[in-house]
Structure 1
């Protein structure tokens, strides 16, 4: 049974390419993806997570204003009774030159994983599998013969 994840671009951001690539990668990895698209409100993320019984929420932002757009996001999730891993990624801060500082800010806001815009989708998928305790079954293992 595929695991359901919510994906979207938060706030007024209209950048769609990143979530399209991520949606394709997640789907190919066996996840059921509910793509909310661009310019998605916090309420829409929360509502989708609740109505789809999602196991994770992935928030994207590329226009540099993610901090403002994500302020209070985890309070809304908690109020709705949604307790799932949350990921945020992209170009999260205007003029960000020290991503570790940005990562720490978003971790303090409650995000479990924080990725920069250069992150390979496979890295996020591997983290998601670890967080959801998804193991590879023998049937899924790839044989490598020399």
Structure 2
């Protein structure tokens, strides 16, 4: 049974290339992807996660204002009794000099995994499989993706 993931670009960000590549890579890996597109509100992520009985939520942000866009996001999920892995990736902070500090900041905000803009889609897929306990049998037939997501 495929695992359902919600994917989208949060806030006012209109960068679509990254989620298009992720959508293709996740679909090829056997995930059922609900792609919300760009300029997606927190409420739309929560509503989609509920409506599709999602297994995980993947948030993308490339314009550097993810912290502002994601404030309170996990409170919204919790208020709707949603307890699922949340991932965020991209260019998350303007002038992002210290990646380790940026990663820790988003982990403190509640994100399960935090990826930079140079992350290969396969790394996120592997993390999802680990976090969702996807067995090797379920993964059969999924080919590693060699697509690079950059800003």
TM bucket by the smaller chain? over 0.9
Aligned residue pairs: how many?
Answer: 142
Mark the runs of 5 or more structure 1 residues left unpaired by the alignment: none
The equivalent residue for 1:20 is 20
**How far apart in 1 are the matches of 2:77 and 2:6?**
13
The equivalent residue for 1:73 is 73
Structure with greater Cα Rg: 1
Q: In the TM superposition, what are the counterparts of 1:26-105 in structure 2 within 5 Å? A: 26-105=26-105
The equivalent residue for 1:4 is 4
Q: Is the 8 A contact 2:50 2:82 kept in 1?
A: yes
Mark the runs of 5 or more structure 2 residues left unpaired by the alignment: 143-151
**How far apart in 2 are the matches of 1:140 and 1:100?**
33
Which structure ranks higher in relative contact order (CA pairs < 8 Å, sequence separation ≥ 6)? 2
TM-score computed with the length of structure 1 as normaliser: 0.94
TM-score computed with the length of structure 2 as normaliser: 0.91
Deviation at 1:140, TM superposition (A): 2.0
**How far apart in 1 are the matches of 2:138 and 2:96?**
43
